[in-house]
Amino acid sequence: MNYNKSINNKNSKMKQKLLKISKLTSSNFGEPLDYFLNFILKINSLKGSVIIDFSDCQNVSPLIIGGIVCVVNAKKEEGVKIEYILPINNYFNNIYFPNGLDYNIEEFEKILKPFQYSSFIPLIKFPVSISENNKLEKLISEINIILKMQLKLKGDYLKVVQYLITEFIQNIIEHSDSKFGILISRYYAQNNYIDLCFADSGKGFLKSYLDTEKYHPKNDEEALNYAVFGKSTKDIPESRGF
């Protein structure tokens, strides 16, 4: 009996595939994006349960963090078992990885406020139902206050950032068909650069366009080009982008 159990445990471990996340120190947008796209290809090629190993990483680009969280949630909904190996440091704890800071908890505002004096915004998880009861406006306002303090923005620069924050969050709520959206950011003061990630595990650009029956992109790349060049899925006279 014990012998059989030992064999089963061994076979179970053999089926687990390890995905090791490399240490990326570049704040250049292209490198983390390329790395994340390759991560998607790798995890989609694996069968059975997966272990994602961050043990070599002291910190990771928000783009990679946000992307991985959404991909993992989508995989878990498909029944794939995924575990994490995390380094022993405070960064991953401070950003509330991997579950995110839940917007619905009573202490949300109190927990979030000190990040005004930090260089990052933690992983925030918000439901698409947030548009109800003025919760959407409240979340946008809180994020804008933090970014204003972190980046020392004012005037037209502040207005542009506030507009983008609103657009990104509303797009997730209105178009994604996802249960929730996430956001996370980090400001690299030395380079005067911010890595701001909004993500969801919804239907994506391609299906969103096809669902409108207004546009008929052939693949994800073409759908992304539609979004970049202002072809809107919204039923409005002007075309403001996806």
Q: What is the pLDDT of residues 101-155, one digit of tens each?
A: 988 888 998 999 999 999 999 999 988 876 665 778 888 889 999 999 999 988 8
List phi, psi (to 5°) of 137.
-60, -35
The mean of the pLDDT values for the chain is 83
Share of the chain above pLDDT 90, in %: 38
Do residues 177 and 171 lie in contact, with contact meaning Cβ atoms separated by under 8 Å?
no
In whole angstroms, give the CA distance from residue 74 to residue 78: 7
pLDDT of 208 reads 84
| Beta-sheet strand order (sheet of 180-188) | 101-102, 120-127, 180-188, 193-200
| Residue 26 resides in a domain | yes
Residue 172 structural domain: 2-202
List phi, psi (to 5°) of 52.
-100, 120
Q: Dihedral of CA 55/61/65/70: which sign? A: negative
| Residue 114 resides in a domain | yes
3-class state of residue 169 by DSSP: helix
Give, in degrees to the nearest 5, the angle at Cα 194 between 71 and 67: 0
| Residue 14 resides in a domain | yes
| Residue 228 resides in a domain | no
CA 31 to chain centre: 16
Structural domains of the chain, count: 1
In whole angstroms, give the CA distance from residue 173 to residue 192: 30
pLDDT greater at residue 113 or residue 204: 113
| Residue 214 resides in a domain | no
User: Which of 26-30, 105-109, 166-170, 204-208 has the least mean pLDDT?
Assistant: 26-30
In whole angstroms, give the CA distance from residue 28 to residue 32: 7
| Residue 221 resides in a domain | no
CA proximity to 24, closest of 52, 51, 50, 62 = 62
The token pair that represents 93 in the structure block = 């704890």
**Token pair 């669902």 in the structure block, residue:** 211
| Residue 176 resides in a domain | yes
| Residue 229 resides in a domain | no
pLDDT of 236 reads 55
